[in-house]
């Protein structure tokens, strides 16, 4: 059976054509070499059937990868591991802060900053090279949810309010940067 004739069921309930290329690319992103990727793709291809869920395909590929190279399997499972941080956003904020700290930033979580109009709780405040970045994290552990345009607009207006107050503070010599907004594991400003 050709791969294009097999329909799989996404977590959203949508049906879509099965793509070996998507599976292959997701395995490559884990760091697995060409030979290992092709071996797993061949095994999974033999096990795919009409109506199989994408989650089941993922679990089969993950199990095969884990048996061969557990280090690649842990990278392959990163997206799922991030979903498991929930149900609240606080662990995700700490995760983002830990990544930045590892990258050489001084970080604080849950900082309250005064804006021109109101005060704002900033999820992560990161400082490096005399520059301060404010970061708003948005997390949910439901794969079917998507952000709409209101969320980045809300974040932008909060930044403008804090930035205006920051510029008014004559004692502050550090530059305030607009932060990235983590959404699950996505960064605002990139469209999917």
pTM above 0.85, yes or no: no
Kindly report, residue by residue over 68-118, the tens digit of the pLDDT: 888 888 888 877 777 778 778 888 899 999 999 999 999 999 999 999 999
Strands 131-138 and 175-177: parallel
Confidence of residue 1 (pLDDT cuts 50, 70, 90): very low
Has domain 84-187 been given CATH number 3.90.79.10?
no
Given a cut of 50, is residue 187 above it in pLDDT?
A: no
How far is it, in rounded angstroms, from Cα 139 to Cα 157? 19
Supply the pLDDT for residue 44: 92
How far is it, in rounded angstroms, from Cα 113 to Cα 26? 40
Size of the chain in residues: 192
Kindly report, residue by residue over 45-55, the tens digit of the pLDDT: 999 999 999 88
All structural domains of the chain with their residue ranges: 3-76, 84-187
Phi/psi class of residue 184: alpha, beta or left (left: φ > 0; alpha: ψ in -120 to 50)?
A: left
């Amino acid at each position: 059976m050709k791969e294009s004739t097999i329909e799989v069921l996404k977590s959203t309930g949508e049906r879509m054509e099965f793509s070996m290329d998507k599976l292959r690319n997701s395995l490559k992103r884990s760091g697995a070499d060409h030979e290992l990727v092709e071996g797993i793709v061949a095994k999974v291809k033999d096990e795919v059937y009409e109506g199989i869920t994408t989650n089941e395909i993922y679990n089969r590929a993950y199990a095969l990868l884990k048996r061969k190279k557990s280090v690649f399997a842990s990278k392959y499972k990163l997206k799922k591991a991030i979903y498991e941080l929930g149900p609240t956003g606080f662990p995700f904020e700490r995760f983002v802060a830990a990544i930045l700290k590892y990258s050489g930033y001084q970080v604080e979580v849950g900082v309250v900053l005064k804006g021109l109009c109101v005060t704002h709780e900033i999820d992560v405040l990161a400082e490096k090279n005399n520059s301060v970045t404010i970061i708003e994290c948005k997390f949910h552990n439901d794969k079917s949810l998507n952000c709409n345009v209101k969320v980045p607009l809300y974040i932008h207006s909060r930044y403008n309010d804090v930035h205006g107050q920051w510029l008014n503070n004559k004692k502050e010599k550090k530059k305030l940067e607009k932060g990235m907004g983590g959404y699950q594991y996505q960064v605002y400003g990139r469209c999917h």
